[in-house]
Amino acid sequence: MIGERIKIARKGAQMSLRDLASMVGVSPMAISKYERDMDMPSSEILIRLAKALGVSLDYLLRPTSVSISQPAYRCRISRFKVKEREAIQARIQSWIERYFAVEDLFVNEYPHLFTFPRIDRKIKSLNDIERFSGELREAWGLGSNPIESMVQLLEDKRIKIGLFNASDDFDACTFWVNDNVPVIAIKDNVPGDRQRMSLAHELGHLMMDLNDGDDEEKAAKRFAGSFLAPADVVVYELGNKRNKLDIFELYELKHKYGLSMMGWVHRAFQLNIINDYEYKRLIKLFRQRGWDREEPDKQYPPKKTHRMERLILRALVEGIISRSRARELYEGNIMDLIEENKDIYGRDTILTDI
């Protein structure tokens, strides 16, 4: 219904009823009635609503096509305001609807299909997580090698990945679309090791079957570390027992495996490679130097997700959609999209054929 679309767009724009009413030239009560489908805005009001909300008329008139479960957030919840949370959820709703619409153009090739691997997902203890993460890597054919791109890996496994601008209080959230498609939304523009940890952490939430009462965050954090740096890899790189770990050594390992320097410290302690004294010494050192907020020297590069954009380009080039429809699905300038992807598709062909 149109009321739900207005409400989603308003929350995405972080507007109050009063804010939107003032821009459109109606009362807050009128906006409230529109959102509850108690009244239908006239065509003139619809145009004003679309302009004020920064969306197309087609967006307002299009029925909501997906249902989203309540997201499970990983954030500084005490500072993560309800208004911002609602805004992120609204942006996610708009993005995932467009993503599904794009995939539906090639529905025979890209079904919205996700299946759990055939491994024992039941976690009996924190130590059992090491077993589970290893079996998951094996089921996905990863071996013990560094994972080049967590974004690419999860998208290949039919897990939708979205990157969103948000405050520092937000890290990630996980939810299901239509009860059968897993989605992970993470903060954009962060160092690559933090991005990878967020994705691995949320993957743990999706994959593990925990006992009632288990500390889900602690379990997901353990999974993330063990998935990015399996136990045999950590022992191979650090040895069975160490008295001390060197900062440059941790820096090199971070750039080899995409796990933060602090993450390597945690893994060494979890696997009893270092003792409690050395662990606490390193934690204290990182905090004193501010490395718990931003680690030193060159950052590990983050990855972008371009799958949806490439599908839009393909549909445009093959004449399945018009340029205006491509712009709507992309929510941006389609020529900018073409420019970004010219190395993939060929500049001359793209620019001359459309």
Q: Would you state the pLDDT for residue 91?
A: 84
Q: Would you state the pLDDT for residue 139?
A: 96
Residue 179 contacts residue 268 (beta carbons within 8 Å)? no
Strands 72-75 and 160-164: unpaired
Residue 119 contacts residue 132 (beta carbons within 8 Å)? yes
For residue 346, pLDDT beyond 60 = no
Dist CA 141 CA 135 (whole Å): 10
Coil/strand/helix, residue 354 = coil
**114 versus 256: which is more confidently predicted?**
256
Q: Is 55 exposed, middle or buried, given 0-12, 13-18 or 19+ CB atoms closer than 10 A?
A: buried
For residue 194, pLDDT beyond 50 = yes
**pLDDT tens readout for residues 57-75:** 877 877 666 777 766 655 4
Dist CA 11 CA 324 (whole Å): 25
Q: What is the mean pLDDT of residues 231-243?
A: 97
Q: Which residues contact 201 (CB under 8 A, 6 or more apart)?
A: 74, 172, 220, 221, 223, 224
| Coarse DSSP helix, strand, coil percentages of the chain, rounded to the nearest 5 percent | 55, 10, 40
Q: Which residues contact 189 (CB under 8 A, 6 or more apart)?
A: 165, 302
Q: Which of 63, 44, 78 is nearest to 6 (CA)?
A: 63
Q: Would you state the pLDDT for residue 126?
A: 86
* Phi, psi torsion values for 39, nearest 5 degrees: -155, 150
Query: Which tokens in the block code for residue 199?
Result: 């994705």
Give ranges for CATH 1.10.260.40 in the chain: 1-64
Given pLDDT bands bounded at 50, 70 and 90, which one contains residue 76?
Answer: very low
Q: What is the DSSP letter of 112?
A: -
Q: What is the mean pLDDT of residues 123-144?
A: 94
**8 versus 1: which is more confidently predicted?**
8
Q: Would you state the pLDDT for residue 72?
A: 63
Q: Would you state the pLDDT for residue 352?
A: 43
Q: Would you state the pLDDT for residue 54?
A: 82
Level-2 CATH architecture, domain 1-64: Orthogonal Bundle (1.10)
Q: Identify the weakest region by mean pLDDT among 1-5, 261-265, 347-351.
A: 347-351
Given pLDDT bands bounded at 50, 70 and 90, which one contains residue 236?
Answer: very high
Dist CA 208 CA 87 (whole Å): 29
HSE at residue 254, side-chain half, CA atoms within 13 A, is: 26
**pLDDT tens readout for residues 5-16:** 788 788 877 888
Given pLDDT bands bounded at 50, 70 and 90, which one contains residue 80?
Answer: low
User: pTM of the predicted model, to two decimals?
Assistant: 0.81
For residue 266, pLDDT beyond 70 = yes
**pLDDT tens readout for residues 287-322:** 999 999 999 999 999 998 888 888 998 898 889 988
Q: Would you state the pLDDT for residue 290?
A: 95
For residue 162, pLDDT beyond 70 = yes
Residue 227 contacts residue 139 (beta carbons within 8 Å)? no
For residue 50, pLDDT beyond 80 = yes
Residue 169 contacts residue 75 (beta carbons within 8 Å)? yes
Beta bridge partners of 174: 72, 184
Coil/strand/helix, residue 309 = helix
For residue 258, pLDDT beyond 50 = yes
Average pLDDT, the chain: 86
Q: Which residues contact 236 (CB under 8 A, 6 or more apart)?
A: none
Q: What is the mean pLDDT of residues 228-250?
A: 97
Residue 223 contacts residue 201 (beta carbons within 8 Å)? yes
Q: What is the DSSP letter of 224?
A: H
For residue 340, pLDDT beyond 90 = no
